[in-house]
């Protein structure tokens, strides 16, 4: 209880500073100085932009209760719904040419790219209603747990808007500052977004072609292996398997180690391949899966095994719906 009271008190103090008062804070002054020194940014432009910021308690509340904290059976139910599956097949048919070209260019299956966009924004239908500058400023200056990350993203955001000649107060996105149809953070936009239709603009907000190409490029750069497996159902032996449930997202075990411990999978996996055993919580127990490199690549998009599994299962459902026809 003491920690909750302390956090609440800190939030009340933090949110008393907004708009012009934000400029009086030492960490904001440091941010401006660094942008000027490192990126030759105009200090007056930064001050004017930050003076219009509105810090938000809703943003702090949202980031402290992410959907990824839910058990698997509840998380899955958010995304594996008939409307989202049908929407994915429709999106596929509407943008088939660009999806096929992206699959050829980056080696990523069409259904995976569609599913990522489906999980992120329902195919562009829900890209978020927070001003990106408010979200990033709130998390940079009033969320100490991840201040370093969001301060960096705020820097990237100002550089992005300068490069694209955009008003920093114009763009909206998620409570975490993710933007557009594929929900790219500013650093990801600057590193991986592409002008996939060659019209001279890299528009992930209103152009599905650029969004599709950007998702394909992101997964490709992060190590997607064309025509390789993603994840397979696993059967585990009775007894203690805790040694096989490694921490983190990385693939820390070889298939031969997992097999020697009594884990069986339906797919054929090279004994030397790096893998990870997943334990997902259902209402009446656990289900187990064996993840390979491509599954790990999906977690680079959102660092969660639940997210990657939702993308995978939605992708399979979308492909089945697409192949079934209109």
CA angle 193, 152, 137 (to 5 degrees): 105
Ramachandran assignment for 56, one of left (phi > 0), alpha (psi -120 to 50 degrees), beta (any other): beta
Q: CA–CA separation, 127 vs 144, rounded Å?
A: 26
> Which of 120, 250, 268, 273 is labelled catalytic?
120
Known catalytic membership, residue 120: yes
Q: CA–CA separation, 162 vs 300, rounded Å?
A: 27
**CA 66 centroid distance within chain:** 12
Q: Which two tokens stand for residue 180?
A: 């557009």
Catalytically active residues are 120
């Amino acid at each position: 209880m003491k920690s909750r009271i302390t956090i609440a008190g800190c939030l009340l103090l933090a949110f008393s500073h907004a708009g012009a008062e934000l400029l009086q804070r030492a960490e904001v002054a440091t941010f401006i100085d660094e942008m000027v020194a490192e990126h030759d940014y105009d200090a007056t432009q930064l001050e004017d932009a930050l003076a219009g910021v509105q810090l938000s308690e809703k943003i702090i509340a949202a980031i402290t209760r992410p959907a990824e904290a839910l058990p698997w059976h509840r998380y899955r139910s958010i995304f594996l719904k008939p409307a989202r599956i049908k929407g994915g097949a429709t999106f596929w048919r509407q943008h088939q040419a660009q999806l096929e070209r992206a699959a050829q260019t980056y080696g990523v299956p069409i259904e995976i790219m569609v599913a990522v966009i489906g999980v992120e924004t329902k195919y562009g239908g829900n890209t978020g209603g927070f001003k990106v500058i408010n979200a990033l400023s709130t998390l940079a200056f009033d969320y100490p747990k991840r201040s370093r990350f969001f301060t960096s993203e705020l820097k990237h955001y100002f550089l992005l808007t300068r490069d694209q000649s955009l008003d920093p107060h114009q763009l909206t996105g998620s409570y975490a500052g993710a933007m557009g149809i594929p929900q790219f953070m500013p650093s990801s936009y600057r590193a991986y977004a592409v002008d996939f239709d060659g019209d001279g603009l890299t528009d992930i907000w209103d152009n599905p072609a650029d969004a599709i190409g950007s998702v394909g490029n992101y997964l490709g750069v992060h190590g997607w292996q064309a025509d390789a497996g993603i994840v397979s159902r696993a059967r585990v032996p009775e007894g203690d398997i805790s040694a096989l449930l490694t921490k983190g997202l990385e693939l820390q075990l070889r298939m031969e180690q997992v097999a020697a411990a009594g884990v069986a999978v339906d797919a054929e996996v090279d004994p030397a391949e790096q893998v990870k055993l997943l334990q997902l919580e259902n209402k009446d127990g656990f289900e187990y899966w064996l993840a390979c490199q491509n599954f790990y690549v999906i977690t680079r998009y959102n660092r969660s095994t639940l997210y990657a599994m939702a993308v995978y299962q939605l992708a399979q459902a979308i492909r089945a719906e697409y192949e079934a026809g209109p």
